[in-house]
Amino acid sequence: MKFFADTAEIAEIRELAETGLLDGVTTNPSLIHKAGRNFLEVVAEIAEAVSGPVSAEVVALDYDGMMREADVLRQIADNIAVKVPLTEPGLKACKVLTGDGTMVNVTLCFSAAQALLAAKAGATFISPFVGRLDDVGLSGMELISDIRMIYDNYDYETQILVASVRSPMHVVEAAKIGADVMTAPPKIIGQLFKHPLTDAGLAAFLKDWEATGQRIG
């Protein structure tokens, strides 16, 4: 499973990149607002800090506007994935952009029908928002299972990028289903490392090691 960081905070991205476990980054207009940085500048910095795909989202709602913005975004770096919303103009733009060899992340997916359309439009990534579905009493993970089944039925190459991840269990459940990618805030990625038994076991090992009076090297 690929791990993307869902943030526009360059310091957090650099820190995660140092672990060697980071495969890409996703941003959205809300995350850019939160970072308080110039959109094009921060995306360029992120694209330099990581070698994998960096999603940068268009804000136009019409096809022509999306294509104009996509042109600006894809010129930033080779690893930019243009993010478009799951709308009719968005999928039209997706089809043309992927046909040109540009990576496209189709975002704001909330149904299997939408995911099927995105695959037909040649999307590189489909982003179903699991947390936001859970928020309204629906099952985000059921959607991931449905999309996995549909994509496998037809050998669609579109990668399932699980978004709106709110807990380590979202990551584990998505991995069990076979989602290709998950994107999560750095805080959630950090939580994946943690287990109280690891901390307790480590403390006990170190105590016993000290009692031996030995050193390594």
Binding site for ligand G3P (CB under 6 A): 6, 26, 28, 129, 131-132, 163-164, 183
The catalytic position among 34, 83, 187, 207 is: 83
Min dist CB 138 to ligand G3P, Å, is 13
Q: Which is nearer to ligand G3P, 148 or 170 (CB)?
A: 170
Residues in the chain: 217
The verdict on whether 83 is a catalytic residue reads yes
| Closest CB to ligand G3P among residues 26, 102 | 26
- Residue with smaller CB distance to ligand G3P, 28 or 159: 28
> Tokens standing for 139?
């099952």
- Closest CB to ligand G3P belongs to which residue? 164
Output the smallest distance, CB 199 to ligand G3P, in A. Answer: 28
Is-contact 2 24, C-beta < 8 A?
yes
Supply the minimum distance, in Å, between the C-beta of residue 204 and ligand G3P: 37
Query: Between vectors from CA 28 to CA 108 and to CA 82, what angle results, nearest 5°?
Result: 80
| In the block, residue with structure tokens 């500048």 | 41
Q: Enumerate the H helices of the chain as residue ranges.
A: 10-17, 29-35, 39-49, 63-74, 88-99, 112-120, 130-135, 140-154, 168-177, 186-192, 196-212
Active site residues: 83
